[in-house]
C-alpha cells in the first residue's frame, strides 16, 4: 500500500466525520492496563486503524511504554496499523469453509476488487481479509461484510454480494 | 427487550416470573418462532421475521411472532416453527420472506403447508425439572411430515446443555425461569454449603468441555481451598477452533444458563467476581450476554445479596481481540490483564495464581451451562450417561461432507459411526467417506477403520486425535489429506504466539515441507523429517497449542500415508485438490457450448465459440474452479 500522510487520508474522507476522536474515546475508560485492549478495539472500530498518533496518545493515557502498546497492537488480529477500508470483507477460512472452497471465494473477492493479495483497495472502500472461523460452519463457505454474514457461497455469487456495498459507497461519495 | 424489571429475591418471586414466562412460552394463541442465532441471520432470518410480523399485522391475526435461538437443524436455516395450541409444533426449513407471508395466509385458512414442513414435535423434555411439555397427543401427525423422534438427526440426541435452545427467546429472563432456570441457583444459595456443591459436581464426573477434559469438581476443590482473596471465575468463550460453533450457539441461545452456572460456581469456590471472555468474531454472542447480565442485575440475580443470601456475584463481558492462543488459560488471563496473549509455565496453575495473581477458575461455556443441571438433579443423575471415565453429554458441530450439517448434543460414548452415518445422514452426493476431523488444529483425522470408536476423552486421544471443544468435520474422497495437514499447519504457524522457539520455527518448517509435498516437490525422506519435527515440537513446547500442533500431521501420516506417497512418488493428488498437481479440461463430448464458463472465467482461459465445444488454455488457467461450479452438463474435468 502506498504510504500516505494523515492529511491525505483525511482529504479522501477516510476518517469519517462522525468518528469519535481518540482522546474522547480514551476518556471513557479508567487508565488502568486492563482497559488497554478494549480502548484499542474502540479506536480500531471508529477509525478503521491504529495510527501512530493514536498509539502515542494511548501510551500517554495508560502510562505504558509505547513499545508495550505496539506489542499488543501488533499481536492481536483485530488491530491494524494501516487504514482498513470502509467496508470490511472477511472471508472465512475455517476448516469447514476450507474444505468447501473458502480459499476460492477469497481469491474471487480479491480479483473482483482488483487486489493481488489480502489488503485494502486504493480508494479505501474495501478491505479483504481472511478470518479463521466465523462459526457458521454449517453454511460454509461463509463471508462477512461489515456486520452481515452470507452463507452457502459460490464464486459466481461474490460480485452480486459486493454490489450493494459498492453503490452505497458511491452514493456516500 | 422484554426485561423483567421486578426484583427476584425469593422462591415466590421466582414462581411469579415462571408464571409470566409460561404465558409467552406457551401462549393460548398460535405462536410462530424464528431461529435467530447467527446461522439463521446469515441465511435471512431477519427478513423472514419481518415478513411474518407484517403479514400477521396486516391480517390482524392474534398470533405472536417470536425470536428463539438455535433450533438445531443448521443446514435447513432459516427455520420457522409454528406452535398451535393442542397441535404438534411444526418446523419449516429453508424459509424466505415470500414463503413466510404465504405461511401466515395459509395458517389463517387452516392450511399447514405440509410441503415445506420438515419435522413435527409433539413433546419436549426439560432435563432440569424432569418434566415433559406435551404439545399434542402422541398420535397427532401430518401426512408426509416426519416426527422429530423418527428423524435420525434428532433420535439419538440428548439435549441437556442445549435444553432451552430453540424453545425460549434468549432475551426473555422470564421464559428462562419458566423452564426451571435460576431455581438451582436459589437452592444453592439458600440450602447448600459450598462443599456440598463441589461434592455433587465431583460425583457427576463432569470434565472440562473445552477439550482438555480436566475433572471440574477437582478444579473447583483446589480453588475452594485457596486462602488468597479475592478469587475470580472466568467463562472461556474464546472458541477459536476453526470448524466449531457450539459455544457461540449456546451463548446466543441460552445466555442465562451460562450465568446461572457461574453464580453457582462462584458461590462454591468463594469468588465474587467473574468474567466472560468471548471472541470478537461473535458479536451476537457478546450482545446477548451483555443483555442477559443487565437483566439479571436488574432482577437482583447478579450483584449484591443475591436471593437475600448475603452472597455477591458480579459478572462482565471481555471481548477477545482475535488470537487463537488466548483459548489457553494462562494466555487468556494475560489478555484480560491487557497484555499480549502469551502462555506461561504451569504450575502455578490459575487456580493457585491466576488473574492479577489471585486464584482463578476458568471453565468452558458448556461446562458452566451443565452446572445448574447437576445441582438440580444431583451428580448421580448426571453420571447416568457416558462411559466409565467420561460422563454426561457433549455438544458437537457436525459439518463438512455430511447430509445433515447440524449442532448436535449426544451422550458421551456414542460411536463415531452413529454420529456420522445416522445423525449426520452419511456422506452426500454419492461420495465416499474418508475421515472425520475432531478437536480442530489440536486434533486429528480419524479414518473409516476407526469409526466404531466410542467418543470419549481417552479413546480419541489414543487414536491420535482429541475430543476438543466439539468440532467434527467430515471429509470425503474429494478432500486431500496432505492439503488438510497443510491447512492446519498454516493456521497454527499464524497463531503460534512465538514465545517458544520450537513451536514458532518448528511449525514453519513443517509447513514448508508439507507445502513442498503438495506442490509435487517432496522427497520420501520428508515424511520421516516431518515425524521428527513433530516429535520435537510436541515435546518442547510450553503450552497446549504447541504440544498438540503436530496432531493433524501425525494422524494424516499415520492413517493416510499412501496419499503423501502419491504426492511424493507419482506427483499426483488423488483427491484432485493440490493446485500444482492438477489441470482442468473440457470433455468435448459433454460440452454443449452454453458459454456459462466463458462468462465466469476471470483469466479468459476458455476458448471456443458459443454452441460449439469449448476448451481450456492451460497456460492462462488459474485453476480457480469457477467453470466447474457453473457447468450444468459437468463437462469440466479435473485431472
At residue B2 the predicted structure's pLDDT band, cuts being 50, 70 and 90, is very low
Homologous superfamily of domain range A87-172: Glutaredoxin (3.40.30.10)
Say whether pLDDT at B561 is over 80. Answer: yes
Q: List, for residues B150-189, the tens digit of each pLDDT value.
A: 999 999 999 999 999 999 999 999 999 999 999 999 999 9
> B594 to chain A: which residues are within 8 Å by CB?
none
Measure the CA dihedral B250/B256/B257/B260, to 10°.
140
d(CA B530, nearest CA chain A) in Å? 22
Residue-level pLDDT at A5: 52
Q: pTM higher than 0.90, yes or no?
A: yes
pLDDT at B379 over 60: yes
The predicted-structure confidence for B488-520, as pLDDT tens digits, reads as follows: 999 999 999 999 999 999 999 999 999 999 999
Over residues B68-95, the mean pLDDT reads 94
d(CA B99, CA B48): 8
Q: Which domains does chain B have, with CATH numbers?
A: 11-153 (3.40.30.10), 182-382 (3.40.50.11540), 393-476 (3.10.20.600), 481-569 (1.20.1440.230), 583-638 (3.30.70.20)
Question: Is B207 a residue whose pLDDT tops 90?
Answer: yes
B399/chain A closest Cα distance in angstroms? 6
> By C-alpha distance, which of B207, B163, B162 is closest to B388?
B207
Write the residue in B318, B338, B602 that is nearest to A111 by C-beta: B602
pLDDT at A3 over 50: no
Shortest CB distance from B339 goes to which of A32, A72, A151? Answer: A72
Considering only the beta carbons, identify the residue of B42, B245, B479 that sits closest to A99. B479
Collect all residues of chain A within an 8 Å Cβ-Cβ radius of residue B283: 147
Beta-carbon contacts below 8 Å between A and B: 147
Enumerate residues 53 to 92 of chain A having a beta carbon within 8 A of any beta carbon in chain B: 71-72, 75-79
How much is the mean pLDDT over chain B?
Answer: 95
Identify which of B38, B239, B339 has the shortest CB distance to residue A136.
B38
Q: Give the whole-angstrom CA distance, residue B205 versus residue B408.
A: 21
Q: Do B338 and A34 touch (CB under 8 A)?
A: yes
pLDDT of residue B346: 94
**What average pLDDT does range B565-591 have in this prediction?**
96
- What is the reported pLDDT for B139? 65
Please write the tens of the pLDDT for every residue from B381-432.
999 999 999 999 999 999 999 999 999 999 999 999 999 999 999 999 999 9
For residue B25, pLDDT over 90 is answered with yes
Per-chain mean pLDDT for chain A: 88
Give the distance from residue A149's alpha carbon to the nearest chain B alpha carbon, in angstroms: 5
- Domain parsing of chain A, residue ranges: 17-75, 87-172
Pairing of strands B636-638, B584-586: antiparallel
- A155 closest CB neighbour out of B43, B240, B600: B600
DSSP per-residue string spanning A9-32: HHHTT-S-TTSPPHHHHHHTS-SS
Say whether residue A42 is in contact with chain B using an 8 A CB cutoff: no
- Residue-wise pLDDT for A112-131, tens only, equals 999 999 999 999 999 999 99
Name the pLDDT band for B457 (thresholds 50, 70, 90): very high
Task: Indicate the pLDDT class of residue A172, thresholds 50, 70 and 90.
Answer: low
Helix, strand, or coil (residue A44): helix
Does ipTM exceed 0.90?
yes
* Residue B249, SS3 per DSSP: helix
Taking the C-alpha atoms of residue B56 and residue B62, their distance in angstroms, rounded to an integer, is: 8
Summarize the confidence of residues B340-349 as an average pLDDT.
Answer: 96
pLDDT score of A14 more than 50:
no
State how far residue A99 is from chain B, nearest Cα, in angstroms: 7
Amino acid at each position: 500500500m502506498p504510504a500516505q500522510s494523515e492529511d491525505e487520508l483525511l482529504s479522501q474522507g477516510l476518517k469519517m466525520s462522525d468518528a469519535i476522536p481518540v482522546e474522547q474515546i480514551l476518556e471513557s475508560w479508567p487508565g488502568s492496563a486492563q482497559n488497554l485492549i478494549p480502548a484499542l478495539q474502540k479506536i480500531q472500530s471508529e477509525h478503521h486503524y491504529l495510527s501512530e498518533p493514536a498509539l502515542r496518545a494511548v501510551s500517554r493515557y495508560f502510562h505504558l511504554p509505547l513499545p508495550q502498546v505496539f506489542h499488543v497492537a501488533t499481536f492481536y488480529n483485530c488491530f491494524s496499523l494501516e487504514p482498513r477500508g470502509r467496508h470490511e470483507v472477511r472471508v472465512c477460512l475455517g476448516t469447514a469453509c476450507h474444505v468447501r472452497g473458502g480459499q476460492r471465494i477469497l481469491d474471487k473477492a480479491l480479483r473482483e476488487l482488483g487486489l493481488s493479495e489480502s489488503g485494502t483497495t486504493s480508494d479505501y472502500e474495501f478491505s479483504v481479509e481472511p478470518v479463521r472461523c466465523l462459526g457458521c460452519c454449517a453454511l460454509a463457505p461463509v463471508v462477512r461484510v461489515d456486520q452481515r454474514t452470507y452463507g452457502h457461497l459460490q464464486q459466481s455469487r461474490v460480485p452480486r454480494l459486493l454490489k450493494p456495498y459498492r453503490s452505497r459507497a458511491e452514493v456516500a461519495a | 427487550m422484554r426485561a423483567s424489571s421486578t426484583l427476584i429475591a425469593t422462591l415466590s418471586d421466582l414462581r411469579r416470573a415462571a408464571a409470566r414466562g409460561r404465558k409467552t412460552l406457551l401462549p393460548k394463541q398460535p405462536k410462530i418462532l424464528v431461529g435467530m442465532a447467527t446461522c439463521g441471520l446469515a441465511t435471512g432470518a431477519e427478513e423472514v421475521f419481518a415478513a411474518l410480523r407484517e403479514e400477521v399485522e396486516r391480517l390482524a391475526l392474534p398470533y405472536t411472532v417470536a425470536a428463539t435461538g438455535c433450533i438445531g437443524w443448521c443446514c435447513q436455516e432459516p427455520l420457522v416453527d409454528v406452535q398451535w395450541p393442542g397441535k404438534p409444533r411444526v418446523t419449516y426449513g429453508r424459509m424466505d420472506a415470500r414463503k413466510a407471508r404465504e405461511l401466515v395466509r395459509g395458517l389463517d385458512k387452516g392450511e399447514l403447508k405440509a410441503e415445506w414442513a420438515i419435522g413435527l414435535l409433539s413433546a419436549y423434555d426439560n432435563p432440569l425439572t424432569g418434566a415433559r411439555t406435551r404439545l399434542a397427543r402422541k398420535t397427532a401427525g401430518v401426512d408426509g411430515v416426519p416426527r422429530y423422534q423418527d428423524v435420525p438427526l434428532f433420535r439419538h440426541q440428548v439435549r441437556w446443555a442445549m435444553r432451552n435452545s430453540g424453545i425460549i427467546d434468549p432475551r426473555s429472563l422470564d421464559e428462562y425461569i419458566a423452564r426451571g432456570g435460576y431455581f438451582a441457583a436459589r437452592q444453592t444459595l439458600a440450602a447448600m454449603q459450598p462443599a456440598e456443591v463441589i461434592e455433587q459436581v465431583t460425583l457427576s464426573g463432569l470434565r472440562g468441555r473445552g477439550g482438555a477434559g480436566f475433572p471440574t469438581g477437582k478444579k473447583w476443590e483446589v480453588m475452594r481451598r485457596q486462602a488468597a482473596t479475592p478469587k475470580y471465575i472466568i467463562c472461556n468463550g474464546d472458541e477459536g477452533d476453526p470448524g466449531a460453533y457450539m459455544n457461540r450457539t449456546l451463548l446466543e441461545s441460552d445466555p442465562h444458563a451460562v450465568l446461572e452456572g457461574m453464580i453457582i460456581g462462584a458461590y462454591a469456590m468463594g469468588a465474587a467476581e467473574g468474567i466472560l471472555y468471548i471472541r470478537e468474531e461473535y458479536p451476537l454472542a457478546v450482545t446477548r450476554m451483555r443483555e442477559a447480565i443487565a437483566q439479571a442485575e436488574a432482577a437482583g440475580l447478579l450483584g449484591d445479596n443475591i436471593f437475600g443470601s448475603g452472597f455477591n456475584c458480579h459478572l462482565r463481558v471481555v471481548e477477545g481481540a482475535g488470537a487463537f492462543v488466548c483459548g489457553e488459560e494462562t494466555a487468556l488471563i494475560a489478555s484480560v490483564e491487557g497484555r499480549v496473549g502469551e502462555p506461561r509455565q504451569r504450575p502455578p496453575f490459575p487456580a493457585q495464581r491466576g488473574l492479577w495473581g489471585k486464584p482463578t477458575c476458568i471453565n468452558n461455556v458448556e461446562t458452566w451451562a451443565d452446572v445448574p443441571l447437576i445441582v438440580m438433579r444431583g451428580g448421580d443423575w448426571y453420571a447416568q450417561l457416558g462411559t466409565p471415565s467420561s460422563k454426561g453429554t457433549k455438544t458437537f458441530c457436525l459439518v463438512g461432507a455430511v447430509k445433515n450439517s447440524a449442532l448436535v448434543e449426544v451422550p458421551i460414548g456414542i460411536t463415531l459411526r452413529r454420529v456420522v452415518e445416522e445423525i449426520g445422514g452419511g456422506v452426500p452426493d454419492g461420495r465416499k467417506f474418508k475421515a472425520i476431523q475432531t478437536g480442530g488444529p489440536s486434533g486429528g483425522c480419524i479414518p473409516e477403520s476407526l469409526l466404531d470408536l466410542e467418543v470419549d476423552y481417552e479413546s480419541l486421544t489414543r487414536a491420535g486425535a482429541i475430543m476438543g471443544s466439539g468440532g467434527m468435520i467430515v471429509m470425503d474422497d474429494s478432500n486431500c489429506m496432505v492439503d488438510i495437514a497443510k491447512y492446519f499447519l498454516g493456521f497454527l504457524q499464524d497463531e503460534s504466539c512465538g514465545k517458544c522457539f520450537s513451536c514458532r520455527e518448528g511449525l514453519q518448517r513443517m509447513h514448508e515441507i508439507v507445502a513442498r509435498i503438495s506442490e509435487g516437490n517432496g522427497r520420501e525422506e520428508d515424511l520421516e523429517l516431518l515425524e521428527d519435527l513433530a516429535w520435537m515440537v510436541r515435546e518442547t513446547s510450553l503450552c497446549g497449542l504447541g504440544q498438540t500442533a503436530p496432531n493433524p500431521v501425525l494422524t494424516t501420516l499415520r492413517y493416510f500415508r499412501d496419499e503423501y506417497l502419491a504426492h511424493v512418488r507419482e506427483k499426483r493428488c488423488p483427491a484432485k485438490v493440490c493446485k500444482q498437481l492438477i489441470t482442468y479440461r473440457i470433455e468435448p463430448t459433454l460440452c454443449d457450448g452454453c458459454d456459462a464458463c466463458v462468462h465466469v472465467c476471470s483469466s479468459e482461459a476458455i476458448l471456443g465459440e458459443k454452441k460449439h465445444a469449448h476448451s481450456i488454455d492451460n497456460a492462462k488457467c488459474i485453476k480457480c474452479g469457477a467453470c466447474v461450479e457453473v457447468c450444468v452438463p459437468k463437462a469440466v474435468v479435473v485431472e
